[in-house]
Amino acid sequence: MTGNTLFIYPRRGLYLITRCSNCNHTYQCNNCDANLVTYKKWEKNLELVCHQCQSYYSYPTQCENCGENGISSFIGGIDKLAQEIKTITDVEPTRLDNKRLKPDFSKKDHPFVTTRVYDPAIDYSVMSKVILIAADNLLSSPDYMVMEETIKNLTELILATPQTSNIIFDTKDLENEFFTKVVSICNQPSSTYKEVLNWYREFLTSESNIRDKYGFPPYKNLILVTSQLKNRQKSIDNINDFKRILDRYRLEKFPEISVSSSYPARFLRRKNHYSYHLLIKYPKQYKNFFNLRNVIKNEASRIGLQVRLNPKNLF
Ligand SMILES: [Zn+2]
Ligand SMILES: [Zn+2]
């Protein structure tokens, strides 16, 4: 290996999926429906961890569904990546995702691994190569702020990496307009800070047009109302009761607002509670805001719903 290489891979743990090869049963958390991630506990001891609710399970020796022994885990996370790098290069890569250890950036021809796209604690000036593994994952979340944060982090990463270094995007999605653009910027030997910042500014402009069109902040304010109960049907009923009440108020008092239909949260089940959302949009500097706020506050607390103003995550 010549020069230092930084591997960025935003997936924690050893393996992302665990499955029985006999009946194809996959392992999910009993308290949520999240896939369980395999971690190495001690020497050869594995455990399954839920990233959503921090539940821990011992690694199965027999399938809980069919009783056979053929359990295997696959799709490697950052721990597996670190193992593979060690196998190939015979060098133990430095983990930058472990905040307890202070990393030594003075090493030469050395591999480093991290789960964060940009981390101000990393000394990028010593890296000859920066490789984003499975970069397609960067775009996998549907929330409206995620794209903005990803681009902000990428901009920071490109600006922090020396111009003589290579930034390599490992992606299967070669047609993706987003990657084509980033890659073309990173591949220009003469690309300057100004070009990177121009690219960032262009993104913000087009993003702000999209937000304007769909009524997201800063053009409208959002209120996300959430019901969260162990009883799934009761959770749906509660959010729909709230919607009926609010629709009536809207017709009589608040014609400027919009109220979505209720919809399930992305992680529908979390810590054994079922979550449903409702999204309300109202204009900036809304003259009737205090009345609207009181109605929402009173009705939501009567039914037992959570209320959040302009949240980052809408799902
Ligand atoms: Zn099985
Ligand atoms: Zn869980």
For residue 39, how far is its CA from the centre of ligand 2 (angstroms)?
15
Distance between CA atoms of 42 and 302, rounded to whole angstroms?
Answer: 49
Give the ligand whose atoms come closest to the C-alpha of residue 23.
Answer: 1
For residue 148, how far is its CA from the centre of ligand 1 (angstroms)?
41
How do residues 94-149 score in pLDDT, each as one tens digit? 999 877 778 899 999 999 999 999 999 999 999 999 999 988 888 777 677 888 88
Radius of gyration of the chain (CA): 24
For residue 261, how far is its CA from the centre of ligand 2 (angstroms)?
27
Surrounding ion ligand 2 within 5 Å at CB are 29, 31-32, 50, 52-53, 55
Distance between CA atoms of 303 and 315, rounded to whole angstroms?
Answer: 21
For residue 49, how far is its CA from the centre of ligand 2 (angstroms)?
8
Distance between CA atoms of 225 and 264, rounded to whole angstroms?
Answer: 12
Distance between CA atoms of 236 and 171, rounded to whole angstroms?
Answer: 39
For residue 276, how far is its CA from the centre of ligand 2 (angstroms)?
17
Give the ligand whose atoms come closest to the C-alpha of residue 270.
Answer: 2
Surrounding ion ligand 1 within 5 Å at CB are 20, 22-23, 25, 63, 65-66
Q: Which amino acid is at 154?
A: L
Beta bridge partners of 45: none
Provide the residue ranges of all domains of the chain, joining segments of one domain with +: 1-116+124-133, 134-214, 220-309
311: cis peptide before it, omega within 30°?
A: no
Superfamily the domain 220-309 falls into:
ACT domain (3.30.70.260)
Distance between CA atoms of 162 and 129, rounded to whole angstroms?
Answer: 10
Half-sphere exposure of 241 (CA within 13 A, CB side): 14
- Residue 197 tokens, joined: 């910042």
Q: Which of 164, 83, 188, 171 is nearest to 134 (CA)?
A: 171
How do residues 159-214 score in pLDDT, each as one tens digit? 899 888 888 888 888 788 888 888 788 777 666 778 888 889 998 999 899 999 99
**What angle is formed at CA 34 by the lines to CA 30 and CA 36, rounded to 5 degrees?**
80
For residue 203, how far is its CA from the centre of ligand 1 (angstroms)?
47
The pTM (predicted TM-score) of the whole model is 0.85
Confidence bin at 297 (pLDDT 50/70/90): very high
Give the ligand whose atoms come closest to the C-alpha of residue 53.
Answer: 2
- Taken as a whole, the chain contains a residue count of 315
Q: Which residues contact 71 (CB under 8 A, 6 or more apart)?
A: 18, 19, 20, 21, 59, 60, 61, 62, 63
